[in-house]
Amino acid sequence: MAGWRRFKLIQCEGLNTNDFEPKTLDELLDDELVFTAPCGQVLSKRDDLSAHHQKLFRLDKLDLYESRGHAIGEMILITTKASLVGYFGVAGINGAFACTRLWHWHGSCWRVVGGHAALIK
């Protein structure tokens, strides 16, 4: 489970500084990534990397809480809640979100293959 802890640390540092390192994010996201955004839009790895590269996703506040890991066969499902304030493009973000990441072992490391974020309040 060290991989998801590493991702969580990288995610927190990157989101807090609004500065993801594209190479690091590329290594952590599986080529087959499927991510459902709070608006219902389904994103691929390419979409996700493009949004971060263009700095469309900007956060002023990030507080993670209630994180849990669940082993499912050869995968790990991580659930967490996050209080977020910021922007995606021109749309404001302000609320509590439930987030899920599904990790699988790929070669010599854990990679995110699926995820979602949903506004909960």
Domains and CATH numbers, the chain: 2-119 (3.10.450.50)
Q: What three-state secondary structure class fits 50? A: helix
The beta strands (E) that lie in 25-90 are given as: 29-36, 42-43, 57-72, 75-88
Q: Is 107 strand, coil or helix?
A: coil
Residue 19 binned pLDDT confidence (cut-offs 50, 70, 90)? low
Would the pTM of this model clear 0.85, i.e. be above it?
Answer: no
Strands of the sheet with 91-106, listed across from one edge:
42-43, 29-36, 109-119, 91-106, 75-88, 57-72
The confidence score (pLDDT) of residue 1 equals: 47
